[in-house]
Structure 1
Amino acid sequence: MKEFTNASRIYLGSQGLNQEWLEKAQYALNSSNLKSWTAGIRFSQVPDMITSYLKSALLNSYLNSITQRLGEMDRDLLHKAHVIYCTDDRGNIRDLSLSPDVSERVDNHVCRFVMDLLDQGNVWEDAVRWYWNHSVIWTLEAMSQEFELRTLSCMSERTWSKVYSKTLCYANAERFNSLFNIYAKNFVDIYMQSLQKEYLEPSRYSLVFYEEFLGLNAPVMGVQSILRPRMIQEKASYLTTFSMAMYHQLRKVVAAQEFAIQDNRIWFSANLETPSGSSSGRVILKRENDSLIKPCQDLIKGMNDETADVMDSICHLWLKKSTSLQEKIVIHADDILDLRGLRRQKNGHGQRGGYKAKWRERIAAHMDLLDQLWINPTGISSFTLEEKAFIISKSKDLQDTGSKGDFKWEVRPGNPLVRDLRKGKRQTSILSKRVFELDPYRQAYEKRAARYFSWLWRSRQSRGHYLEPIRIPTLLNAIRLEYQRSRSAKIIERFEKMMDTLKDKEIIAGWQYDRIYKNGQDWLELKLVVEPPQTIIDQYAKIKSATKPTKPPKLAGSLNNLGEQLRKERLRRRLTQMQAAEAIGIDQTTVSKLELGRRNPDFQTARKIQQWFATASF
């Protein structure tokens, strides 16, 4: 949603331009402007820039592959007609290069491939949006110099959009080329990473691949027609964890270190109650069989959002492996580190071995901390009511002794959580694995917000009201971000950076405010619309609601399947529900209900959707 930094806001504010203009600049990229700009950039110098960088990257990778194979004494590679090299007095190969006469042949192959690649999907549209957003400061400044501010403020939305687009067209060639030079480099970097990951893992195939790809072998059927790496981010995978109210509260107080001495007791505890009454009781931090029952200050200091990650990891692995509610499973520290997506370290033979000892020790510290958590479901002071939150003990597997055995445990959730799980209603949810990859120190708010959204979407599954607005103070409280009027600008900037990070990581599909705000006080009164990824919507759509909704009456003709048609067309255009709702001109929740089959469209809504179907898609 947010494309602009705080610095840009300050700059625009000094020019007499306000936040509303920034919003207008984004919405000015309507379907008409997008279509005309896409056609213009397609026939500009941009494809040549991408071709030049891609050709250079492919040739360098090809020569590097030859060099690596030469290290394996595969000298037959030097007999290729297009390879040129020199040798020193000892016969070592140096100055490896390609014959100049292959350049034109490679140019033709790469050029055709680039145009074919860019014409697929929404690559051109993405390029336009990138240039549009990265030129906003210059464009608004140029508009303010050409028109009086009063004149611009009086323009209609359509006129303002045309003026903005026209002003952007007048950017000089140097500015245009400079920006798209950056875009071309980034595009090729991402493409080469996708290429290496998808096709070039087995080194023995790399030379053949490059030669056919570059046209050096000129096969009958070009490899370009069958090998086409997908230039999209790897789809986020999901884990299953608990979503009971008690567990959700437990996760929050652990992440935010909300333990304190209560009621003149000598150990630390935290409240698990919720205003709705869905959760009650307290969680207590104490050592088992400790006659002195000393406060656990050291444990609290080591408590953070990574501890919450370990909790989610335990729940996921236990739900995946256990066959009964009382069964313990064996968990190794490496199992949790695997879920975090960390790369194993190389051993002496250059192969991937295990993880660093300090990483495993950190997991062990969190496991020790969780072993000291006790839950009193009633909140009434009584030793007999206190039960462990997690049952954790050292593994009895005799095969792992020494250091390996130190990082292996037998684990299951404690009885308070298991009892809640037996109730069976909305007790588990799916959580993006990318939440674990976020830094527990620098991106703690991102982690907390992601967990909150995961719990919230599961709670809203029965009604399908995923896009129901959330009050800003509600979300601030959920992530434990305190609003201070004296620091409002920095807090808002940090909040919006958090939301953008979640969108970039595809933990959420999109977000937006319900209206434009002017200052910090107005910001607190806003509501936030957050859209879940399509994977979550699809997954929860498979779950039958506890209460059977009344089926909407069947409509005649194609309107009966309008919701399914809308979903297919929206996904084909690669739009989120919020983006589609805005393009169609209907409410965001209406799109969700139509796609889930929980509502039939009225005549006006159906007409808008049919008109949207008829518009040119990009």
Structure 2
Amino acid sequence: MFDYAHSENTQAYLEHIMAEEKHKIKDFYVLFISDYNIGKKNYSLFFDRHIMDESIVYVEQDEGSINAPSYIVDGDEYAKNEELFYKIRLQSRKRTIEKMAISINFYMVAHNTQESNAILNNDELLENSIEKTKVIIQNETFLGKEETWDNFYVWIRNQLKTLILEEMFLINGIRGIKELSGEELNVTFFELLRFNLSINKSFIRKFSNLVDLYLKEWQRRLINELNNNISAYLQIESVIEQSKTVAENNEAPQLKFISNYAYVLNNVAYHVVREAIYKQNFKIDKEVMWPKYSFVKGNTNGNIQIIPLINDRQDINSAYDNNQQSASNIAQQMSLMDVDVLDILCHLYLQLAKNTEDIVEIELRDILIMRGLRAKLGGDGRRGGFEAKQKEQVINSLKVIQSLWLTIDKTVMYKNNKPIQVEVQGRTFLFKNAMGEEYEVNEETCSKSFTFTVDKVFAKYLTSSKRQMALLPLKAMQYHAARFHLEKKLCRYLSWRWRTQAYKGDYQQLNRVNTLLDACGEEVNDRLPVRTRERLERALDKLAEDKIIADWYYVNWDENIAQGKGWLKYWLNTAIMIDPVHEVKEHYRSIERVKKPVKSITASNDMQTSYQAELVQRIHEVRISQNLTLTSVAEEIEISASYLNKIERGLVAGSPKIQKKILNWLERFD
């Protein structure tokens, strides 16, 4: 039987031995030398990382800090060069305070969700707030006291002593340690300490995690102390007013941070590339050198080919043979993940590049984080790194993107707001180093980070006077590619549709079922067509649940017809209304044409009395406050969702019988 009392005695004995041995270790200091400089950040991307990593209050553990050179200095040596070593410690202290100032400001932004978009789009404001926060942390909080840092350094030494002695006990046993002389103990201790801090990444990560927990406690204290001050620095109310003024004075949308959304190009060429990948429309033919997909969309026609980059060092003949086989493999293995990576590249390029000649650098982990993946847990239960397989999948998608060759035979673009015919060809994105030289995407060149830019085709659209960019929900990249493939495709199709409708401000255009299925590359299950219907409805419900769409419903659909023969043809030609969420409408409001006011129920005595107008307004207020969809309310009132939508928009008054039903429903919320 396990002797609990004996176990307690053993623990007490081990703690006693540990305390004894700690006292024998000579005084020492550990100095970490890092040239890391936070510099100017792309705050939208930085904030996204914090949100998606669930680490708003997080002192980011960059790999530079783990791999930074460390020096162990004994007490006597430190005393001889105290002024020099103290300066090094001050640099490390300054870096810690700076990272805390950033994370605390981000904490404030995250807790002002309605204003976060405006704040994150004002780099100057954020930088000023961070600078002021650094000053106040240094001058007015506990971190400005020397005693705080002295206690921190004592704690660090104690943690290192415990970790190293525990390891020594495991290697040599308690008896072996106790038999060592004081000098032998110190020699062994410092040898192991130097090894672990310079080479042993597992040890460094474990030690870093302990330090991180200590610093998080500092952050919690700082947030409590600085809450009101930081709110004042951010000047939240004035920022909102400023952003509204800017929006009102601009006809074209600006690239502003919108929480839970990414920006992507919305031209025909970009949309066709995405569609060709997930539909796998490339034709592989012996008579054609490269897999090819030809398209005609409106006034744009051309083709996309898969032509891998040919390495200059390869023999030209063997290169073509090998690359033709590689191109054939790519055409057959394309997947939705490739579209995810394409959209992420587009979003990050639009965020980071100042002009179309810019070469931007991003980390592989940025793509993995934006796809909603989590870093795997380390042995101590904390986040470690991403799996090698996850990184390999991203690199494979980058290879696919590098191989795409786009030819536009004819399209219309705009220069000085005048339409012109354009022919252009090139790749989608070019992978170039800082010297402007193209390189081949592989595990060696993209192991951690990579550099890229746009090629001629997308550059043409970006420099057009009517360049179009669309909001794409981050969920489009984060949904599981197999389980939610239809949801991912619908996100992209609706994103494209809403942006094309934004100019007219008309989001009430109907979508026929067969158009939606075709746009998503979905085929009807001929044997059990009801499964196709159920799958589409389940996907739309999922988008509504995740607040990607506000609501959806069939228009003029009779459920009785679905019970008889021939219902499939009727269903495929049925229209569906899909309403965008408020954030999308608000974002595109600045590019709407000024329209003549529609006759509303409040302005037309023929349509409605003032009493009826109040009734309709009450329906809308209750529905929004209770977070109810048009479909669910319509079912309770026993009318169709499309008819309720017309009532709520003031297009019809509704019969006295229906108005009575509405009143009875509203009474539940009084």
Q: Which range, TM-score by smaller chain?
A: 0.5 to 0.7
Partner of 1:327: 358
Counterparts of residues 271-350 of structure 1 (less than 5 Å): 271-274=294-297, 277-289=298-310, 291-292=316-317, 293=320, 294-295=323-324, 296-347=327-378, 350=381
- C-alpha distance after superposition, 1:393-431 (max 9, x if no partner): 35679xxx9968534222233322232344465722222
| Larger Rg computed on CA atoms | 2
Partner of 2:15: none
Question: Could you tell me how far 1:344 is from its partner in structure 2?
Answer: 1.2
Q: Does 1:386 align with 2:425?
A: yes
Question: Could you tell me how far 1:483 is from its partner in structure 2?
Answer: 2.1
Distance, in Å, in 1 between the alignment partners of 2:276 and 2:646 is: 34
Which of the residues 556, 570, 587 maps onto 1:525? 570
Partner of 1:494: 535
- C-alpha distance after superposition, 1:223-266 (max 9, x if no partner): xxxxxxxxxxxx98222222222211110111122111469321
Q: Does 1:549 align with 2:598?
A: no
Partner AA of 1:543 in structure 2: S
Partner AA of 1:91 in structure 2: E
Which of the residues 230, 234, 256 maps onto 2:279? 256
Q: Does the Cα contact within 8 Å between 1:236 and 1:432 map onto a contact in 2?
A: no
Partner AA of 2:596 in structure 1: T
TM-score computed with the length of structure 1 as normaliser: 0.53
Partner AA of 1:575 in structure 2: L
Identity of aligned residues (%): 22
Partner of 1:127: none
Q: Does the Cα contact within 8 Å between 1:435 and 1:447 map onto a contact in 2?
A: yes
Distance, in Å, in 2 between the alignment partners of 1:513 and 1:541 is: 25
Distance, in Å, in 2 between the alignment partners of 1:480 and 1:368 is: 23
Task: Give the direction of change, closer, same or farther, for the CA distance of 1:460–1:386 in structure 2 (3 Å limit).
Answer: closer
Question: Could you tell me how far 1:314 is from its partner in structure 2?
Answer: 0.9
Distance, in Å, in 2 between the alignment partners of 1:573 and 1:347 is: 42
Partner of 2:480: 439
Partner AA of 1:432 in structure 2: P
Which of the residues 555, 561, 572 maps onto 2:625? 572
Task: Give the direction of change, closer, same or farther, for the CA distance of 1:575–1:497 in structure 2 (3 Å limit).
Answer: closer
Partner of 1:420: 461
Partner of 1:372: 403
Task: Give the direction of change, closer, same or farther, for the CA distance of 1:298–1:239 in structure 2 (3 Å limit).
Answer: same
Task: Give the direction of change, closer, same or farther, for the CA distance of 1:549–1:285 in structure 2 (3 Å limit).
Answer: same
Task: Give the direction of change, closer, same or farther, for the CA distance of 1:378–1:403 in structure 2 (3 Å limit).
Answer: closer
Partner AA of 2:591 in structure 1: K
Distance, in Å, in 1 between the alignment partners of 2:471 and 2:508 is: 18
Q: Does 1:265 align with 2:265?
A: no
Q: Does the Cα contact within 8 Å between 1:489 and 1:520 map onto a contact in 2?
A: no
Task: Give the direction of change, closer, same or farther, for the CA distance of 1:575–1:466 in structure 2 (3 Å limit).
Answer: farther
- C-alpha distance after superposition, 1:197-234 (max 9, x if no partner): xxxxx89999xxxxxxxxxxxxxxxxxxxxxxxxxxxx
Distance, in Å, in 1 between the alignment partners of 2:467 and 2:554 is: 28
Partner of 1:483: 524
Task: Give the direction of change, closer, same or farther, for the CA distance of 1:377–1:585 in structure 2 (3 Å limit).
Answer: farther
Distance, in Å, in 1 between the alignment partners of 2:580 and 2:613 is: 25
- C-alpha distance after superposition, 1:167-202 (max 9, x if no partner): xxxxxxxxxxxxxxxxxxxxxxxxxxxxxxxxxxx8
Partner AA of 2:307 in structure 1: K
Partner AA of 2:306 in structure 1: L
Question: Could you tell me how far 1:492 is from its partner in structure 2?
Answer: 3.3
Partner AA of 1:317 in structure 2: L
Partner AA of 1:378 in structure 2: D
Distance, in Å, in 1 between the alignment partners of 2:268 and 2:647 is: 29
Structure 1 stretch 306-315 or stretch 238-247: which is displaced more? 238-247
SS in 2 for 1:366: helix
Q: Does the Cα contact within 8 Å between 1:370 and 1:390 map onto a contact in 2?
A: yes
Q: Does the Cα contact within 8 Å between 2:479 and 2:488 map onto a contact in 1?
A: yes
SS in 1 for 2:273: helix
Distance, in Å, in 1 between the alignment partners of 2:641 and 2:356 is: 40
Task: Give the direction of change, closer, same or farther, for the CA distance of 1:280–1:203 in structure 2 (3 Å limit).
Answer: same
Partner of 1:469: 510
Partner of 2:667: 616
Counterparts of residues 7-26 of structure 1 (less than 5 Å): none
Structure 1 spans left out of the alignment, 5+ residues: 1-85, 94-201, 207-234
Task: Give the direction of change, closer, same or farther, for the CA distance of 1:418–1:495 in structure 2 (3 Å limit).
Answer: same
Partner of 1:54: none
Distance, in Å, in 1 between the alignment partners of 2:383 and 2:445 is: 17
Distance, in Å, in 1 between the alignment partners of 2:616 and 2:474 is: 30
Partner AA of 1:258 in structure 2: N
- C-alpha distance after superposition, 1:493-513 (max 9, x if no partner): 433443344344443344333
SS in 2 for 1:284: strand
TM-score computed with the length of structure 2 as normaliser: 0.50
Question: Could you tell me how far 1:357 is from its partner in structure 2?
Answer: 1.7
Q: Does the Cα contact within 8 Å between 1:440 and 1:447 map onto a contact in 2?
A: yes
Partner AA of 1:572 in structure 2: S
SS in 1 for 2:373: coil
Distance, in Å, in 2 between the alignment partners of 1:264 and 1:496 is: 42
Partner of 2:110: none
- C-alpha distance after superposition, 1:23-71 (max 9, x if no partner): xxxxxxxxxxxxxxxxxxxxxxxxxxxxxxxxxxxxxxxxxxxxxxxxx
